[in-house]
């Protein structure tokens, strides 16, 4: 049994181990300490065996017994046990050194975890707060567009000034990677999630700045008031339940109705709505962005002038007649536009009309300033 114990002990003392936490290395060290506490008893057993061998040797020598040192019950000798016991005694301090080295490594890893977590637990929430604030500016109605633009640029400057904290985190993360540290129970944030959040923040700021600048240009070029702009934004936000900055078709339709836009519930109403969708979502993405919505509503709010301009254009083509003929449309317009108008213009019902006369005034008013013409 003692020989078996020696063999098993030698294997345990040279066994390789992989740990990732302080708890794991401490568990190995506790087990090693418990093992070392048994060495005293093992030493006593070894000495008792050696003493028995010496006693046998003394008797054999004293009585000169031929073959007395041979043992038919084992091939082991005292020399074998002595060598194995010596190996064990040498391996014990070596194991101590290996465990201590791993302990120092895990202590350093633990320090890196805490350093990263302390910094990440500050940077992560800061990024989230800035994202929320920028989103609120983009969705909010407080102040003029110029006020919103000024605040967005202040956030942009603050973000770039804060970048030094992200760079410090990158340095700690590099040490974490070199230490092969894969888990950190002290934080929910990883370097990857923080990088993504940072890029999202920069993208959100830049997008909102661009959108706000475009809204200022749209407002000034189209002549709509700040009050009209606020009304459009308020309606859009009301139906943007998820605060995504875009509306699904049904949300967009409800938004139009809330602004007084008449959309019938019949087949013609569906056709009209699909025509509007083609204008605000030309790529058929399935969503209407605020910029496209604003551009549409701006054109709608100034539609009277636009419709009159279209009517004037048709009047010129018709030679000042209150109606126009299909041949005149085909002669003056590109083929696709001519056929579009011919198919959609209602018959002219006024007096003195020629056969096939078309009502371009009703058509222009219904188009509401559509861009194809």
Residue 228 is encoded by which pair of tokens? 């009209």
213 lies in the same domain as 254 = no
Number of domains in the chain: 4
What CATH number corresponds to the domain at position 119?
1.20.58.60
Placement of tokens 């992200």 in the chain = 166
Domain containing 348: what range? 307-369
Same domain, 340 and 353: yes
- Are 93 and 123 in a shared domain? no
CATH of the domain at 271: 1.10.238.10
Whether residue 350 has pLDDT greater than 60:
yes
Are residues 126 and 76 located together in one domain of the fold? no
> Do residues 128 and 200 both lie within one domain?
yes
Query: How is residue 4 written in tokens?
Result: 């078996």
Single residue among 186, 219, 252 that ends a domain in this structure? 219
pLDDT in tens, 239-297: 998 888 899 999 999 999 998 888 888 887 888 899 899 999 999 999 999 889 988 88
- Alpha-carbon distance of 140 to 131, in angstroms, equals 14
pLDDT tens digits, 223-236? 788 888 888 888 99
Q: Are 262 and 313 in the same domain?
A: no
Domain boundary residue among 109, 127, 154? 109
Query: What is the mean pLDDT of the segment spanning 10-14?
Result: 96
Contact 162, 180 (CB under 8 A): no
The CA-based angle 133-166-147, given to 5 degrees, is 25
Tell me: do 249 and 316 sit in the same domain.
Answer: no
Q: Say which residue the tokens 């300033």 belong to.
A: 369
- Choosing from 156, 185, 219, the residue where a domain stops is 219
Query: Mean pLDDT over all residues of the chain?
Result: 91
Q: Does residue 137 sit in the same domain as residue 171?
A: yes
Predicted pLDDT at 372: 43
Closest CA to 255 of 268, 237, 275: 237
Nearest to 251 by CA among 278, 287, 299: 287
* One domain, residues 206 and 231: no
């Amino acid at each position: 049994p003692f020989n078996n114990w020696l063999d098993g002990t030698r294997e345990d003392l040279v066994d390789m181990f992989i740990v990732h936490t302080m708890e794991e290395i401490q568990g190995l060290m506790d087990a090693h300490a418990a093992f070392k506490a048994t060495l005293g008893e093992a030493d006593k057993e070894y000495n008792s065996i050696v003493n028995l061998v010496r006693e046998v040797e003394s008797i054999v020598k004293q009585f000169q017994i031929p073959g007395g040192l041979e043992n038919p019950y084992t091939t082991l000798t005292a020399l074998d046990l002595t060598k194995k016991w010596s190996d064990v005694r040498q391996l014990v301090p070596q194991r101590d050194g290996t465990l201590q080295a791993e302990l120092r490594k895990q202590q350093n890893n633990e320090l890196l975890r805490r350093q990263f977590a302390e910094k990440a637990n500050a940077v992560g929430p800061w990024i989230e707060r800035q994202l929320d604030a920028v989103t609120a500016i983009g969705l909010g109605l407080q102040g003029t567009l110029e006020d919103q633009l000024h605040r967005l640029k202040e956030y942009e400057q603050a973000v770039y000034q804060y970048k030094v904290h992200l760079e410090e985190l990158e340095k700690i993360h590099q040490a974490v990677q070199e230490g092969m540290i894969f888990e950190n129970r002290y934080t929910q944030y990883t370097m990857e999630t923080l990088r993504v959040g940072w890029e999202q923040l920069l993208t959100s700021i830049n997008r909102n700045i661009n959108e706000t600048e475009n809204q200022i240009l749209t407002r000034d070029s189209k002549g709509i008031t700040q009050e009209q702009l606020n009304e459009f934004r308020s309606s859009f936000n009301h139906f943007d339940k998820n605060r995504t900055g875009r509306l699904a078709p049904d949300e967009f339709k409800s938004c139009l109705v809330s602004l007084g836009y008449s959309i019938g519930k019949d087949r013609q109403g569906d056709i009209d709505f699909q025509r509007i969708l083609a204008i605000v979502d030309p790529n058929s993405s399935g969503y209407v962005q605020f910029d496209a919505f604003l551009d549409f509503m701006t054109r709608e709010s100034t539609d009277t002038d636009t419709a009159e301009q279209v009517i004037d254009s048709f009047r010129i083509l018709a030679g000042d007649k209150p109606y126009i003929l299909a041949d005149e449309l085909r002669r003056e317009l590109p083929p696709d536009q001519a056929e579009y108008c011919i198919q959609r213009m209602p018959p002219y019902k006024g007096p003195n009309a020629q056969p096939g006369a078309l009502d371009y005034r009703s058509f222009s008013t219904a188009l509401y300033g559509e861009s194809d013409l």
